[in-house]
Amino acid sequence: MEGGNGNEVEREEDDSVSDILQDRFRLSAISIAENEAKKNGVEISEPITSCIADLALNYTEQLAKELEAFAQHAGRKSVNMEDVILSAHRNEHLTALLRSFCNDLKEKEPQSERKRRKTSKKEDKATTSAVNIPDI
């Protein structure tokens, strides 16, 4: 046998895992939609919950592609919090919530684990003159 069959088996396994994850995601989205509807005293039909799950999955897949592109554009192989915040730039409220969440995480992070480097006076002036988006 040639090595090509091994790649085919791996691809099938990856597809199987991907299908399982997508099904779990959809079930979670349906569960969340049903719980929110119940909490708000609203009835929601099965086709609507299915549609919500599909929309959530499609949105998440598109978001993952955008995040990958942002990280790649910055010359990184992994996505960071700034990429996530950048992905929400069209929604001011969401951007503010993400920035607040990011700041909360930074405050909870132990001081010794934070990476710090000394900045020169020129760098300090450059960062203060940059456009600042206020945290809400």
What tens digit of pLDDT does each residue of 1-42 get?
Answer: 445 567 887 788 888 899 999 999 999 999 999 999 999 999
User: What is the arithmetic mean of pLDDT over 81-102?
Assistant: 93
**pLDDT at residue 118 is higher than 80:** no
Task: Write down the pLDDT at residue 119.
Answer: 56
Q: Are 79 and 70 in contact (CB under 8 A)?
A: yes
Within a 13 Å sphere around the CA of 52, how many CA atoms are in the beta-carbon half?
16
The count of domains in the chain is 1
Q: Are 68 and 74 in contact (CB under 8 A)?
A: no
User: What is the arithmetic mean of pLDDT over 121-129?
Assistant: 46
Tell me if the pTM is above 0.95: no
Quick check: is 67 in a domain?
yes
Domain containing 81 equals: 16-107
Quick check: is 50 in a domain?
yes
User: What is the arithmetic mean of pLDDT over 93-105?
Assistant: 93
Q: How confident is the model at residue 109 (pLDDT cuts 50, 70, 90)?
A: confident
CATH number of the domain bearing residue 20: 1.10.20.10
